[in-house]
Structure 1
Amino acid sequence: MMPSHGRIRQADRVSRCVVIGSGIMGAGIAAHLANAGMQVTLLDIVPGSLTTEERSKGLTLGDAKVRNRLADEAVKRIHHAKPPMLYDPSWISRIRTGNLSDHLSAAGEADWIIEAVVERLDIKRKVLESIDTARRPGSLVTTNTSGLSVGAMAEGRSGDFRQHFAATHFFNPPRYMKLVEIVPTADTSPETVTLLTELCERRLGKGVVLARDTVNFIANRIGAHGMLVTLEEALRCGLTVEETDALTGTAMGRPKTATFRMMDMVGLDTLLHVVDNVLDRSADPAERAIFARPQLLVKLVESGRLGSKSGAGFYRKTAGTDGRSMIQSLRFPTLEYGSPSRASSPVLEAVKAAGGAAAKVRALLSAAPKHTHSQFAWACLKRTLLYAASLNGVIADHLTDIDKAMRWGFNWELGPFQLWDAIGLEQSVRRMEQEGDVVPAWVKEWIAGGNSSFYRCEGTKRLFAHDGGYREESGEGDCISLAGLKEAGRTVLSTPGASLIDIGDDVVCLEFHSTSNAIGGDILSAITLSAEEVSRNWRGLVIANEGRNFCVGANLALLLMEAQSGDWDEVEDIIRYFQRSMGLLASLDRPVVAAPHRMTLGGGVEACLPADRIIYSPETYFGLVETGVGLIPAGGGSMAAAMLAADRAQAASGGRSEASPMLLQPQLNQLFETIALAKHSTSGFGVRALGFHRPGDRVIMRQDARIGEAKHECLELDRQGYSPPSQPLIPVAGGEGKAVLALAIQSMKHSGYISPHDELIAGKLAHVLSGGDVAFGTKVSGQYLLDLECEAFLSLCGEPKTQQRMSHMLETNKPLRN
């Protein structure tokens, strides 16, 4: 994929890769290299015996199908993986297979060779030796190890090999996890580190931290320590599995998997391997004491309870008396399982009421300081903070790298040093020392120097503690931090649901920040105000945010409340306000570029389609899914679909103004099916297959750069002399096209694919997309289609089954089939 603005980088010349080892990590890495447009050869060893199936087919150990079996099976796993490993299923063609004995010569043609075999130093060294003999000088070689000595692997290798060798530790699954730890050796050239960093960041879309060649590197070392400390403190405090996970998940700014669910996902045997790795290589008695094998873990592993992969660990999935599956949890100290119990306390109630990770952690510690839950949380947190501080300068050059590694590798919202700032550096250190804990000398010296935090901001600069002073965090190219810009006072205007932020070069960004970024009156008001402001004073508008998701749709709770009360005038006002706001974006006399990420559903899509360009991140799940709650798109989404169908039909006709039914109907059918079945893409690249892609829209691999890239797109459109697109009349399929869609609806109903209520919804959608009961080819205005949208939406809001669907979605976050 070409980099931004046409400049050819060295990383863009890396096109041929070899991955050796086709296990979980090797296959995942190979798939993600294919996602980046690279041609990949996946190699593994030759099997030593035949399978029963191979014998039945008369195959021998000399047959290629047998010799390539391990890599071939990995490609099959990639193709059928859920969640998908590939952004586009067709990209499986970018991966070819082979074996180390017959196809190692592929390494001689490769730009980058990645070793991902079993985590044993002797085996890795043997594989790397064979790579050294086969590679061409100057090619990159990396190992995907989670913590073995990288320097020891390179011993005995050629000088050119050592200069171009490092570890690239991908986190699992490679497509979805952001972190890659790059670990150079003493012989790795600076140019190699730079190239690997650029490859991982810009080509693969990863977040890179440089780690030192120490046991388990950064994230796994601190993460494993935190799990062991949590287990120890939970047993000491007499907490249940449920209580522990309730306190160490979102309450601490960490994922819902918390501690014990995370251990089960990692695998208890795998966790013991990580523990043993530290135990074997650490000379620190205190650290060795922490990383001594917990007997509880040993007993679980010895009994075959390895976590999720074995069906039982700290949690167990089993069948209930009614035949349905149920989750049970481990009971201490009997190690038997019982029905899960809900964790509750004044501490947890205070956490629920707090907004944001920092506020939640403060509530966790201060709401009821003498409560067992608060005492437990403090013990876990302080031990993690002190351990991270003791490793600053040991496992990484900068404390900000430790924070990034934990955010990107373990999905913490706050890294250890950010967390320390959040709870108050000076007072927490005071409490630690009062309780007899040893605080690293550099932390005490830092406070004694008059510093009250590890991070601070100066204008748009973000600084972090380093070598007795503050150092500016290195910029990440085109990455723009809206949070940093807001801290620097660059907010132009704001409502409770959205803000307009100056992102430089006379471009502003409209950021949603309502609950779940759902579109309500506050966001619509901000759009109206922003359109006026941008038209007067700015060169362009970006629509993007840094929330967990771009936008999950409109404010469903408000719509349901009004519908249940029968206030139809209010419902219509909401729809019309939504439509007018999207219309302001579409007609703005300045370029508008949307940069969605992750869940971009319903109203989120309708906020993107008026833009002149859409810059997708790879992990964008994009779709008009309103039928799932018994409705149709009515914020301009149905109108936009009809316009897309007409535009494509005209393009297919060679630009003639009159498109035939043979050209328009297929386009309309595709979009109708996409919306009627509430389909959404599984990646930014999948948007095209659903029919929402427009000329000029594109995907960039590096999600963090999407706002910067959208800004550059705005500036380029402005440079070209931007004028808003005209609003021509739209040729529609009319009654003839609607009849074709009606046949499709009947076919789905008779096959049992849709319910009678689905049939009703689909019929309303077909009426709108086809332009109603007019003749084929009739040209209608956008407002005419908006009126049809509104009418259909209102009628569906009055349906009891639609209200049931809306209510069920709000209560369970799952669609109801009724």
Structure 2
Amino acid sequence: MSNFIVKKVAVLGAGVMGAQIAAHCLNAKVPVVLFDLPAKEGPKNGIVLRAIENLKKLSPAPLGNKDDASLIEVANYEDNLDVLAGCDLIIEAIAERMDWKHDLYKKVAPHIAPNAIFASNTSGLSITALSEGFDAELKARFCGVHFFNPPRYMHLVELIPTATTKPEILDQLEGFLATTLGKGVVRAKDTPNFIANRVGVFGILSTVHQADKFGLSVDVVDDLTGAKLGRAKSGTFRTADVVGLDTMGHVIKTMQDNLKDDPFYGVYATPPLLAKLVEQGALGQKAGAGFYKKVGKDILRIDAAKGEYVTGGGKADELVARILKDKDPVKRMKTLRESTNPQAQFLWAIFRDGFHYIAVHMESIADNARDIDFAMRWGFGWSVGPFEIWQAADWKQIAGWVKEDIDAGKALCNAPLPAWVFDGRTGVHAADGSYSPAKKANVARSTLPVYERQVFRAPLLGEGVADGKTAGTTVFEDDSVRAWHQNDDVLVLSFKTKMHVIGPGVIAGLNKAVAEAEKNYKGLVLWHADAAEGGAFSAGADLQSMLPLFMSGGAKAIEPMVAELQQAFMGLKYASVPVVAAVAGLALGGGCELALHTAKRVASIESYIGLVEVGVGLIPAGGGLKEAAVRAANDAKGNDILQFLKTSFLNAATANVSKSALQAKSMGYLKADDVIVFNAYELLHVAKVEARAMFDAGYRPPLKAQIAVTGRYGVATIMAQLVNMRDGGFISAHDYKLGTMIANIVCGGEVEEGSVVNEQWLLDLERKAFVELLNNPKTQERIMGMMQTGKPVRN
């Protein structure tokens, strides 16, 4: 197998998608050049330069580190086409017009290198039609590569070949997309809107149709079709506002223009309300108004009947909310279908329409059921795919009900369910793969080499494959942790607590795992099975478990537990085999300190790391401030330590959390040689490789060093800054107190400048300050507020 290495990417089109795809390539350290038309006035690359400026302002941030924006190379189609010769991958991302795309292709085709892959990021135009006019050589290297918005955060990329695309091109591109850019790749057929938009937009149209039929307002529909259904929080109409109602209209028009023979064709009519809003220029979030409009602090909703905005905030009926909370999928679906509540009937109707649609269309739009489920999960933010829902809710029973509704004329069209639905099956996903109607058999997952890096692939309901919660050989397990291995010389410790918080059980588990790894393994990896599914690395110390102790013995009773936590973390730092933290998602407070004490960190790009204790009126006491002092002393190498302390002091005093692993490096929570992984499903593989490599290279833990500190001088200097922040009203009096305590610890306490202390000295300072704060009424207010509302109290 030859390596496919992308040394440079060109993105054609600096619009919303093009600029963000370029930004994400840069996140992954892939050099990128961004093209657009030459500007009519000002600098010739003005259009691209403005797009790059805009990347810095967008939220959620397309760039892991804003400062990297300047690394995007700028170009225009008049002066810089020669640059294309040095690009291995060229992605076209201009507006969705076939004629414009063809004009651009004529311009760029002569400049494309003979082995480069050329791809279009169209969201629905025919890839085959786009390739017309290419010579056979370029046709073989052309395909669709459809990113979802926003490209950094949406896991899905659809890969769409034409009949003439060389298969190895797709395999190479899939490897690059999966590992380098961290994407979940689904191969789609070249049909209008491919898989996710075809099914997703049909779902939105069906929802609009049924909401109208049952007389439900947009806010109630969004409450019903958002988190309560395990879908994107924004529900249906709010999602349309975010996507843009003009974009929505365009995708619907693609269906109207190209799907005349579809039995559901009648549903593809543009909803009158949508057409009216677009006509008025109310295009959604970007225009300040769509289905919703923000006026001051109020969110108003459109009233379809009146055609004006009225007060929003409508919610699902309590009865329906209760039905949706039922953990049993069979019972949940049965209750929805049998209920007389209009909201419940509405939900059954949209489920039925969805099942009907995917059954009728699966063969024409996808190779198998798995691809439809992943497309909806990764592209539309569903926690469970539509076929998974159907299979979990009793395949045969649902199939019967859908057929009944079709026969009774209640469905959106009278197309019968295909015969395979009734062939005696109990679902479409099984241990040997997912059903493919064209092959009349279950097909296994892709066996491309890139997937050997995913120790546990995205799970599918009904597949029954091993997952990280049960796989491997268990060494020891209790309610808090599980230690296990896969016969590869590395011990893995996984926490089982909620949000992987650290209480007495986890502390004991860490100590036990270190002892076990030192005796029998090359290394220890801290990794959690739900890391790739948006879980947390650790949300910090388990305050809940401290409460009973506090109630019975006051703050003093908690001190021994804090000391145990500190010593467990020190045990990781000085373990005689390398300990590697596989970080993904939140690593806050004690979770951040846990990672700081390991020999190495392997972090998913989407890692949000920070010392946030001041939010609950406490200071970090698991060695986080001690590590700040140690690192500042090491980095200063005899220069002014205070310069090196400033960032870590401010991060802790303001509870600053990184917005990416890249930013965590610049904040000092990750070191320069820590590894950033773009695909969270590859985290465990990379962490194990690192642990073994460190062991094989003769790993020794660091020597216990003496730490030079800035003492009273440092505290006084930092205090001057804090006084300004307090007097300027930027921080409260209690924040000032916390800031003072943090300054005292990172500077080494009441000692002379230039004094030398050891780590235990700093840990003792942390612990005493922490215990003192537990007795403070303002801190107690913050802790109770956080436990009751989940939000920080600023007092």
TM-score, L = length of structure 2 = 0.90
Matched, 1:543 2:531: no
Matched, 1:27 2:19: yes
Partner residue, 2:28:
36
- How far has the Cα of 1:188 moved from its partner? 1.2
Partner residue, 2:430:
456
In 1, Cα distance between equivalents of 2:549 and 2:284? 46
In 1, Cα distance between equivalents of 2:585 and 2:393? 30
Report the residue type matching 1:271 in the other structure. Answer: M
Question: Does the 8 A contact of 1:365 with 1:374 survive in 2?
Answer: no
In 2, Cα distance between equivalents of 1:478 and 1:752? 51
Matched, 1:178 2:155: yes
- How far has the Cα of 1:540 moved from its partner? 2.6
Could you tell me which runs of 5 or more consecutive residues in structure 2 were left unpaired when the two chains were aligned: 408-415, 458-465
Q: Structure 1's 228 and 519: CA in aligned 2 closer, same or farther, altered over 3 A?
A: farther
* Match of residue 481, structure 1, among 450, 456, 465: 456
Partner residue, 1:61:
none
- How far has the Cα of 1:750 moved from its partner? 4.2
In 2, Cα distance between equivalents of 1:109 and 1:798? 64
In 2, Cα distance between equivalents of 1:365 and 1:781? 65
Q: Structure 1's 298 and 503: CA in aligned 2 closer, same or farther, altered over 3 A?
A: farther
* Match of residue 603, structure 1, among 574, 590, 611: 590
In 2, Cα distance between equivalents of 1:284 and 1:509? 54
Kindly tell me the number of residue pairs found equivalent between the two proteins: 768
In 2, Cα distance between equivalents of 1:361 and 1:67? 61
Report the residue type matching 2:428 in the other structure. Answer: F
Query: Once structures 1 and 2 are overlaid, which stretch shifts more, 726-735 or 792-801?
Result: 726-735
Partner residue, 2:319:
346
Question: Does the 8 A contact of 2:229 with 2:324 survive in 1?
Answer: no
Question: Does the 8 A contact of 1:314 with 1:329 survive in 2?
Answer: yes
Question: Does the 8 A contact of 2:472 with 2:485 survive in 1?
Answer: no
* Match of residue 11, structure 1, among 4, 16, 32: 4
Question: Does the 8 A contact of 2:12 with 2:36 survive in 1?
Answer: yes
Report the residue type matching 1:506 in the other structure. Answer: D
Partner residue, 2:292:
315
Q: Structure 1's 453 and 106: CA in aligned 2 closer, same or farther, altered over 3 A?
A: same
Report the residue type matching 1:455 in the other structure. Answer: H
Matched, 1:594 2:581: yes
Partner residue, 1:527:
510
Matched, 1:151 2:128: yes
TM alignment of 1:93-108, pairs within 5 A: 93-108=70-85
**What does the per-residue CA deviation read over 1:329-384, in whole Å, with 9 as the maximum and x for residues that have no partner?**
33453344224233332331354474xxxx57864654894152433322212321
**What does the per-residue CA deviation read over 1:592-644, in whole Å, with 9 as the maximum and x for residues that have no partner?**
11111122211211121121110111121211122233221112212222222
Give the match's secondary structure for 2:80: helix
- How far has the Cα of 1:487 moved from its partner? 4.9
In 1, Cα distance between equivalents of 2:356 and 2:580? 44
Give the match's secondary structure for 1:388: helix
Question: Does the 8 A contact of 2:537 with 2:585 survive in 1?
Answer: yes
In 2, Cα distance between equivalents of 1:577 and 1:348? 43
In 2, Cα distance between equivalents of 1:465 and 1:301? 40
In 1, Cα distance between equivalents of 2:237 and 2:765? 52
Q: Structure 1's 709 and 793: CA in aligned 2 closer, same or farther, altered over 3 A?
A: same
Partner residue, 1:328:
300
- How far has the Cα of 1:409 moved from its partner? 0.9
Question: Does the 8 A contact of 2:336 with 2:348 survive in 1?
Answer: no
* Match of residue 137, structure 2, among 160, 172, 193: 160
Could you tell me which runs of 5 or more consecutive residues in structure 1 were left unpaired when the two chains were aligned: 1-7, 51-64, 320-324, 653-659
Give the match's secondary structure for 1:262: helix
- How far has the Cα of 1:557 moved from its partner? 4.7
Q: Structure 1's 456 and 503: CA in aligned 2 closer, same or farther, altered over 3 A?
A: farther
Q: Structure 1's 154 and 695: CA in aligned 2 closer, same or farther, altered over 3 A?
A: closer
Matched, 1:511 2:494: yes
Give the match's secondary structure for 2:137: helix
Give the match's secondary structure for 1:284: coil
Query: Once structures 1 and 2 are overlaid, which stretch shifts more, 238-247 or 593-602?
Result: 238-247
* Match of residue 777, structure 2, among 800, 803, 812: 800
In 2, Cα distance between equivalents of 1:497 and 1:344? 37
TM alignment of 1:281-680, pairs within 5 A: 281-319=258-296, 325-336=297-308, 337-352=310-325, 354=327, 363=332, 366=335, 369-372=338-341, 373-436=343-406, 438-445=416-423, 448=424, 451-457=425-431, 463-466=433-436, 467-474=439-446, 476-481=451-456, 484-488=467-471, 490-545=473-528, 546-547=530-531, 548=534, 549-557=536-544, 567-649=554-636, 652=637, 660=638, 662-680=639-657
Question: Does the 8 A contact of 2:31 with 2:72 survive in 1?
Answer: yes
Give the match's secondary structure for 2:580: strand
Question: Does the 8 A contact of 1:178 with 1:409 survive in 2?
Answer: yes
Question: Does the 8 A contact of 1:386 with 1:440 survive in 2?
Answer: no
Give the match's secondary structure for 2:609: strand
Question: Does the 8 A contact of 1:630 with 1:806 survive in 2?
Answer: yes
In 2, Cα distance between equivalents of 1:28 and 1:253? 27
- How far has the Cα of 1:277 moved from its partner? 0.7
- How far has the Cα of 1:498 moved from its partner? 3.8
In 1, Cα distance between equivalents of 2:77 and 2:35? 6
Query: Once structures 1 and 2 are overlaid, which stretch shifts more, 593-602 or 414-423?
Result: 414-423
Give the match's secondary structure for 1:486: coil
In 1, Cα distance between equivalents of 2:398 and 2:132? 45
Report the residue type matching 2:697 in the other structure. Answer: Q
Partner residue, 1:111:
88
Question: Does the 8 A contact of 1:485 with 1:501 survive in 2?
Answer: no
In 1, Cα distance between equivalents of 2:668 and 2:613? 16
Give the match's secondary structure for 1:286: coil
In 1, Cα distance between equivalents of 2:496 and 2:274? 42
Q: Structure 1's 11 and 681: CA in aligned 2 closer, same or farther, altered over 3 A?
A: farther
Query: Once structures 1 and 2 are overlaid, which stretch shifts more, 120-129 or 696-705?
Result: 696-705
- How far has the Cα of 1:492 moved from its partner? 4.4
In 2, Cα distance between equivalents of 1:472 and 1:425? 21
Question: Does the 8 A contact of 2:336 with 2:347 survive in 1?
Answer: no
Matched, 1:229 2:216: no
**What does the per-residue CA deviation read over 1:154-194, in whole Å, with 9 as the maximum and x for residues that have no partner?**
11112221111111111111222221111111111122112
Query: Once structures 1 and 2 are overlaid, which stretch shifts more, 113-122 or 724-733?
Result: 724-733
Query: Once structures 1 and 2 are overlaid, which stretch shifts more, 802-811 or 559-568?
Result: 559-568
Q: Structure 1's 813 and 308: CA in aligned 2 closer, same or farther, altered over 3 A?
A: farther
CA RMSD of aligned residues (A): 2.7
Report the residue type matching 1:694 in the other structure. Answer: K
Q: Structure 1's 136 and 721: CA in aligned 2 closer, same or farther, altered over 3 A?
A: closer
Q: Structure 1's 121 and 695: CA in aligned 2 closer, same or farther, altered over 3 A?
A: closer
Give the match's secondary structure for 2:134: coil
Question: Does the 8 A contact of 2:356 with 2:402 survive in 1?
Answer: no
* Match of residue 197, structure 1, among 157, 174, 185: 174
Question: Does the 8 A contact of 2:20 with 2:62 survive in 1?
Answer: yes
- How far has the Cα of 1:137 moved from its partner? 1.8
Question: Does the 8 A contact of 2:336 with 2:345 survive in 1?
Answer: no
- How far has the Cα of 1:147 moved from its partner? 0.5
In 2, Cα distance between equivalents of 1:798 and 1:367? 51
Report the residue type matching 1:539 in the other structure. Answer: K
**What does the per-residue CA deviation read over 1:667-721, in whole Å, with 9 as the maximum and x for residues that have no partner?**
2233212211222222111222212333641212333211110011122223234
In 1, Cα distance between equivalents of 2:786 and 2:334? 34
Partner residue, 1:246:
223
Give the match's secondary structure for 2:4: helix
**What does the per-residue CA deviation read over 1:263-309, in whole Å, with 9 as the maximum and x for residues that have no partner?**
22112222121111112111434221221222232233333332222
Partner residue, 2:460:
none
In 1, Cα distance between equivalents of 2:546 and 2:307? 48
Question: Does the 8 A contact of 1:480 with 1:503 survive in 2?
Answer: no
Question: Does the 8 A contact of 1:38 with 1:94 survive in 2?
Answer: no
Question: Does the 8 A contact of 1:317 with 1:326 survive in 2?
Answer: yes
In 2, Cα distance between equivalents of 1:531 and 1:353? 41
Question: Does the 8 A contact of 2:712 with 2:749 survive in 1?
Answer: yes
Q: Structure 1's 712 and 101: CA in aligned 2 closer, same or farther, altered over 3 A?
A: same
